[in-house]
Amino acid sequence: MKKYILLIFLLVLAVSVSGCTNFLNQNPDQQRIADAETYAKDINASTYNGNGFSFFYPNNWQNYTEPDWLATIGDPNDTSTYIYVDNHKLQSNETVKGLLENAVTEISADKNRNITIVSWENLTVNNNPYEIVVVKEKTVEGQLQYMQAWFERNGTAYLLGGVTTPEKFPSMNETFNMFIYSFKFE
């Protein structure tokens, strides 16, 4: 009998150590969304509702009018720190990844801009495949670093962007994640 108890204990220990019982990591999409909601509560975030979608943003930020974007909200104390939502109707032969690759090629060819891709990964958020890109850009005006999430919905490419200076980027990363992972269509 003691052998069986020891064997069962060892099996339970092996399963626990292997991660088979770690339910939070079984669905990273849901964990990212939960983290965004927790951070939003922690900072007492505001909710943007308009243009058929919603997302969280810092409550001391302001809504700006930018005619080329669906939504723009920024830090009133730092004009280089903001988030935005943009979209582009995809042609039948276009994909989000192709659109992103073309944008990178165009920007790279511009002699007044110097970009470096810091990271590029594929994620799933709310059951949508996302291309998440972090880019550093040096322009004639100065340096910026931004996180962009590209995804497709009903034949339209959406771009969620968070922009700031490279110095502020590490401290803004959680805010940008909150924005991206809280984004939902109404």
* Residue 132 covered by a domain: yes
The 10s digit of each residue's pLDDT in 50-71 is 999 999 999 999 999 888 899 9
149 bridge partner residues = 132, 160
The count of domains in the chain is: 1
* Residue 134 covered by a domain: yes
Residue position matching structure tokens 């999409």: 29
| C-beta separation of 59 from 75 below 8 A | no
Whether residue 103 has pLDDT greater than 50: yes
* Residue 87 covered by a domain: yes
* Residue 89 covered by a domain: yes
Non-local (6+) Cβ contacts of 182 within 8 A are 33, 36, 37, 40, 54, 55, 56
| Closest by Cα among 24, 55, 21 to 37 | 55
* Residue 124 covered by a domain: yes
The 10s digit of each residue's pLDDT in 69-91 is 999 999 999 999 999 999 999 99
The pLDDT of residue 18: 42
Q: 21: helix, coil or strand?
A: coil
CATH number at residue 136: 3.40.1000.10
Q: Are strands 142-153 and 128-139 parallel, antiparallel or unpaired?
A: antiparallel
Residue 7's pLDDT band (cuts 50, 70, 90): very low
* Residue 109 covered by a domain: yes
Residue of 117 and 176 predicted with greater confidence = 176
For 164, other C-beta atoms within 10 Å of its C-beta total 24
Rounded-to-integer distance, Cα 27 and Cα 124, Å: 10
Helix 169-182 / helix 28-42 crossing angle, nearest 10 deg: 110
* Residue 114 covered by a domain: yes
pTM: 0.80
* Residue 111 covered by a domain: yes
Can you give the residue range of the structural domain that contains 80?
44-185
